[in-house]
């Protein structure tokens, strides 16, 4: 199955909200409800509905086209791939997010992607909390034939990160992905630890981290907004990755996020396999969202 087919299949639950045979321009309210249910967000929904009213489509087909263009125009500025700057060696990517969002899996997928592009990739297993997290990353390291810098479970994550940057420099790694423990935005101690990790990264390399990616699980819908806010208070988020767009009916959340935070969306995930992560493009997304 191609990526686009997978994305379409994954977004089916969201797309089902927009069954246009039932909706014509006289039942804009139905469309409004569908957009709200898909978690597009009140602000964007109002603007989109107003745009449709202004353009006065003749039929459902025309309305769908306006809607599609609205979605594309709103997201295009944020569909930006993660660019590795070659003068940063290693280019340090810090991955953050709540438990189960898909950080470790996404690191593995990104690692294999950049490896295939010819970069020497390495991983720092900074999730020393969860049993199994280190092994999970080691697996990805074996698959990608990449270094995985680890410490003993329960060890000091910040110390590991410090060592990992030095080892990555020594090994001349091009990109270092730092995994972190999932932390709830309401756990002050864990958020404090993230600050410490950031300080330690800067000690090892004052220009790092070169990217801090917040991994979000699409199935949480509107709560993603709360997560971006909470993590932004602790550390400067430079980009987003949205996982689990497969099997959610809240696929419109990317529109709400872009509207509010104007952050780049580097990639989206539609499954658990290596090939289930791809760069984000507004057209593909709009097509999948509308079925």
Ligand X SMILES: Nc1nc2c(ncn2[C@@H]2O[C@H](COP(=O)(O)OP(=O)(O)O)[C@@H](O)[C@H]2O)c(=O)[nH]1
CA terminus-to-terminus distance, the chain: 17
> Which of positions 117-176 make contact with Mg ion (CB under 5 A)?
127, 133
Q: Which does 101 bind (CB under 5 to 8 A by kind): Mg ion, ligand X, none?
A: ligand X
The 2-41 contact track toward ligand X, x by CB under 6 A, reads ----------------------------------------
Contacts of ligand X in 117-176 (CB under 6 A): none
Binding ligand X (rule: CB under 6 A), the pick from 111, 182, 251, 252 is 182
From the list ligand X, Mg ion, none, pick the one residue 155 interacts with, judged by a Cβ distance below 5 to 8 Å according to partner type: none
Quote the CA–CA distance of 267 and 239 in Å, as a whole number: 9
User: Nearest residue by C-beta to ligand X?
Assistant: 269
Determine the interface stretch with ligand X among 13-21, 69-77, 99-107, 227-235 (rule: CB under 6 A): 99-107
- What SS3 state is found at 148? strand
Answer yes or no whether residue 102 interacts with ligand X by CB under 6 A.
Answer: yes
Residue 70 binds: one of Mg ion, ligand X, none (C-beta under 5 to 8 A by kind): none
* Separation of alpha carbons 53 and 233, rounded Å: 38
For the bound state, the minimum distance from the C-beta of residue 268 to Mg ion, rounded and expressed in Å, comes to 18
DSSP run (H or E) holding 111: helix 103-116
Say if CB 275 and CB 2 are below 8 A apart. no
Yes or no: say if 124 and 149 are a contact pair by the CB < 8 Å rule.
yes
* 97: its two tokens: 């997010």
* Contact status: 100 vs ligand X (CB under 6 A): yes
**Kind and range of the H or E run holding 265:** strand 265-269
Nearer of residues 69 and 273 to ligand X, judged by Cβ: 273
Are the C-beta atoms of residues 13 and 248 closer than 8 Å to each other? yes
Q: Does 104 bind Mg ion (CB under 5 A)?
A: yes
Which range, of 40-48, 96-104, 150-158, 253-261, touches ligand X by CB under 6 A?
Answer: 96-104
CA dihedral for 182, 212, 287, 116, sign (positive or negative): negative
Around Cβ 136, how many Cβ atoms within 10 Å?
A: 17
CB of 172 to ligand X, least distance (A): 27
The residues, any chain, with a CB within 8 Å of residue 200's CB and separated by 6 or more, are: 158, 159, 161, 162
Under the binding rule (CB under 6 A), the answer on residue 266 touching ligand X is no
- What is the binding site for ligand X (CB under 6 A)? 97, 99-105, 182, 215, 243-244, 246-247, 269-272, 276
């Amino acid at each position: 199955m191609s990526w686009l087919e997978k994305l379409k299949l994954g977004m089916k639950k969201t797309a089902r909200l927009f069954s246009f045979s039932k909706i014509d321009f006289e039942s804009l309210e139905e469309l409004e409800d569908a957009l709200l249910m898909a978690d597009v967000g009140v602000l964007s929904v109002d603007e989109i509905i107003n745009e449709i009213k202004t353009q006065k489509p003749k039929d459902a087909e025309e309305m769908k086209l306006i809607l599609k263009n609205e979605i594309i125009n709103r997201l295009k500025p944020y569909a930006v791939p993660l660019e590795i700057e070659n003068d940063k060696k290693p280019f340090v990517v810090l991955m953050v997010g709540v438990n189960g969002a898909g950080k470790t899996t996404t690191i593995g997928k990104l690692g294999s992607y950049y490896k295939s592009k010819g970069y020497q990739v390495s991983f720092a297993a900074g999730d020393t909390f969860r049993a199994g997290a280190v092994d999970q990353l080691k697996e990805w390291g074996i698959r990608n034939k990449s270094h995985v810098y680890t410490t003993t479970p329960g060890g000091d994550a910040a110390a590991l990160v410090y060592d990992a940057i030095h080892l990555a420099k020594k090994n001349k790694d091009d990109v270092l992905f730092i995994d972190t423990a999932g932390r709830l935005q309401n756990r002050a101690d864990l958020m404090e630890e993230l600050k410490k990790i950031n300080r330690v990264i800067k000690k090892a390399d004052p220009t790092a981290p070169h990217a801090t990616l917040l991994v979000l699980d699409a199935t949480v819908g509107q709560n993603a907004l709360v997560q971006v806010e909470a993590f932004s208070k602790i550390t400067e988020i430079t980009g987003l990755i949205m996982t689990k767009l497969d099997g959610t009916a809240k696929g419109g959340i990317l529109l709400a996020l872009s509207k509010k935070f104007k952050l780049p969306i580097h990639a989206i995930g539609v499954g658990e396999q290596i090939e289930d992560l791809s760069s984000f493009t507004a057209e593909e997304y709009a097509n999948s969202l509308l079925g």
